[in-house]
Amino acid sequence: MWVAFDGTEFHGWQTQPGFRTVQELLEQTARRALRHPVTISGSGRTDSGVHAAAHVCHFDTTREFPAESLRHALGSRLPKDIAIIALRDVNRQFHATRSAISKLYRYRIHHALRRPVEQVSQRYAYHHWHDLDVARMQEAARHFVGEMDFTAMTATRGIRESMVRRVIRCDVERHLDEVRIDVEGTGFLYRQVRNMVGTLIHIGRGRWEPDRLAEILASKDRTKAGPTAPACGLSLRWVRYPAHLLRPEACDDGEMGLVDADGT
């Protein structure tokens, strides 16, 4: 199931007692439609306030239900800040988290004196009106690419047995009044992307030289990096899976599938 949501009013993906979360809402809706307990697994745990154009999740059901009919049954019960983009039967071996090859997050910075409300994007972009040197940010971003220890880019509560993650690309581009930072990786630590963005903003403002980023990463010290960028600017754009797992019947052709906002 490919789900898009405006994360502003959600307390993240993962179910948390007493809070409105995407996972809990989807599970409640699926239980009503299928009339049996449902556990939904997602491709990742988005933070409170983070958005998604195509968050991927999966669940098992014992009911015979055409996929398109089920999409309609679930979607018609959901509030306006969440939508099911597509739903399909997949291979029994598919797992939204463990089967993922890579995913891409985009961070949007509204870089202008005037507020983003003029573009009706205040809920989806971080308003930063100070000067930013995009060329410096691009130069620094290359230090994020590769497989390395990202301890310096995660919060204390995000400490894992292994802090090594692989970033495939980190692109910084300007689009009119917006600076976009696209980060593709095989997996991410808690608040890793938002801390990467906050550090790039510091460099873009001229507070640090681009090459200082290599020293920050080598230090494995979160206090040496930049601040955590606000959640509102971040969205999950797509998740990539092996194509044969996206089909009900097993196949060993080795194809890769890109799951985008259309669920294709």
Per-residue CA distances from 19 to 24, 26, 82 (Å): 9, 14, 16
Are the CB atoms for 44 and 95 separated by under 8 Å?
Answer: no
Residues of the chain with pLDDT under 50: 251-252, 261-263
The Cα 75–Cα 220 span in angstroms is 44
Class of domain 2-89: alpha beta
pLDDT at 262: 45
Q: What angle do CA 146, 151, 157 make, to 5 degrees?
A: 135
pLDDT at 105: 98
pLDDT at 155: 79
pLDDT at 157: 66
Which sign does the torsion angle of CA 98, 143, 161, 154 carry?
negative
List every span in the chain annotated with CATH 3.30.70.660.
Answer: 102-236
Which CB contacts under 8 angstroms, 24+ apart, belong to 15-24? 22/46, 22/55, 22/82, 23/57
How many Cβ atoms sit within 10 Å of the Cβ of residue 129? 11
Among candidate residues 31, 26, 33, 32, the one with its CA nearest the CA of residue 4: 26
Which residues carry out catalysis? 47
Q: What is the CATH number of domain 102-236?
A: 3.30.70.660
List every span in the chain annotated with CATH 3.30.70.580.
Answer: 2-89
Amino acid found at 231? A
Give residue-wise pLDDT tens across range 15-72: 999 999 999 999 999 999 999 999 999 999 899 999 999 999 999 998 988 999 999 9
Q: What angle do CA 220, 134, 211 make, to 5 degrees?
A: 35
pLDDT at 260: 55
What is the distance, to the nearest Å, from the Cα of residue 108 to the centroid of all Cα atoms in its chain? 13
